[in-house]
Amino acid sequence: MVIIRHVAAALLVILGVSLAVFVLTHVIPGDPVEVMLGERASTADRAALAKAYGLDRPLTAQMVDYYQGLLKLDLGESLFQHRPVVELISERLAATVELAGAAMAVALVVALVLGLVSAWYARTWVDQGARVLSLLGVSIPNFWLGPLLILFGSVYLGWFPVSGRDGLSSLVLPAITLGTALAAIVARMLRNSLLEIAEADFVRTARAKGLGEWTILWRHSLRNALLPVVTLVGLQIGAILGGAVIVETVFSWPGIGRLTVEAIQSRDYPLVQGCVLLIATIYVLVNLLTDVVYGLIDPRIRLAGS
């Protein structure tokens, strides 16, 4: 019953997002006809092109067509590239998944190291240094960190490509840029969770049995500390997808984020709607999956929600 309620709520969110995206793309300043023909085009040419794409029809009629297409899993055709939106998105999706996966891997590795070190050396200068690094990771925006990494890693050192998607080396800087903030957040959460569990009864029992502190931390405390971390990581996947819009633009990474920016700049309504709807749907589905997994890990959550 709880899962059904979560699914229903997810569907309502997706419906709300689709409506908001449709309305916003049609009310924001800018005319795709003017972008395609230029400012000096005649009124007759503009009217003819608007009629050809159905942009002269009432907004309600366009909305009906939009939702009829969604029911058929048809996102329409790009106004500028004259290709199905689904086809354009499918070509870019692999690049975004690759970047998001690499960023997540970077974030989890860094967070695990920082969190464990910070908890092991709690309230020492090592802990303070790890906390400062976490604060910097959260505070530095992607649009500033990306060019900074390009400046040092590409221009000065020449270790990595400046932009594009060409091999593993071109993935390093975008993944670090996108994963830094998540690493900082997860590291802080892991540290606090480990310190809280350190006072639990089962930890005292393990210590009374003569187990070493590192064994207790790695085998006992870490397992229980990962429960809130799993939830946090699931919720932050949406933030990674949102941050990918900026990172892909900075590094000219050919993913969904860059495609979204290009569609917005050209006022390509169907493509903007398709890209944003995809990102929102993934975000909602990941949150739904996180809730389900959290309930499976901790039965108390299912009992509380039933």
- Closest alpha carbon to 245 in 71, 100, 90, 45: 100
First to last CA, the chain: 7
**Taking the domains of the chain in order of start, what are their residue ranges?**
92-305
Measured in degrees and rounded to the nearest 5, phi and psi for residue 81 equal -95, -10
Whether the per-residue pLDDT at 154 is higher than 80: the answer is yes
How far is 55 from 44, CA to CA, in rounded Å?
14
The answer for residues whose C-beta is within 8 angstroms of residue 111's C-beta and 6 or more apart is 182, 183, 184, 185, 186, 187, 190
**pLDDT score at 119:** 79
* Alpha-helical segments (H) within 209-268: 213-215, 222-250, 256-265
Q: Residue 61 belongs to what H/E stretch?
A: helix 59-71
**pLDDT score at 30:** 67
**pLDDT score at 299:** 56
How far is 173 from 103, CA to CA, in rounded Å?
10
Tens digits of residue pLDDT in 9-54? 778 888 888 888 888 877 776 667 766 666 666 677 777 777 776 7
Q: Which of 58-62, 255-259, 276-280 has the lowest mean pLDDT?
A: 58-62
Neighbours of 110 (CB within 10 A): 21
How far is 65 from 193, CA to CA, in rounded Å?
50
| CA angle, residues 217, 218, 221, in degrees to nearest 5 | 50
Please name the CATH architecture into which domain 92-305 falls. Answer: Orthogonal Bundle (1.10)
Measured over all CA atoms, what is the biggest interatomic distance in the chain, rounded to whole angstroms? 87
How far is 271 from 32, CA to CA, in rounded Å?
12
- Closest alpha carbon to 124 in 193, 26, 191: 191
What is the distance of C-alpha 106 from the center of its chain? 14
**pLDDT score at 268:** 82
Whether the per-residue pLDDT at 73 is higher than 70: the answer is yes
How far is 13 from 134, CA to CA, in rounded Å?
32
**pLDDT score at 127:** 80
pLDDT: which is higher, 258 or 80: 258
Tens digits of residue pLDDT in 274-289? 888 888 888 888 777 7
Whether the per-residue pLDDT at 304 is higher than 60: the answer is no
Average pLDDT of every residue of the chain: 79
How far is 288 from 239, CA to CA, in rounded Å?
15
Tens digits of residue pLDDT in 233-254? 777 777 787 788 888 888 888 8
User: Per-residue pLDDT averaged across 76-86, rounded?
Assistant: 84
**pLDDT score at 213:** 67
Q: What percent of the chain has pLDDT over 90?
A: 2
How far is 94 from 33, CA to CA, in rounded Å?
31
Q: Which of 133-147, 184-198, 204-218, 240-254 has the lowest mean pLDDT?
A: 204-218
Residue type present at position 138: V
**pLDDT score at 303:** 44
**pLDDT score at 7:** 76
pLDDT: which is higher, 115 or 200: 115
**pLDDT score at 201:** 72
Whether the per-residue pLDDT at 271 is higher than 80: the answer is yes
pLDDT-derived band at 68, boundaries 50, 70, 90: confident
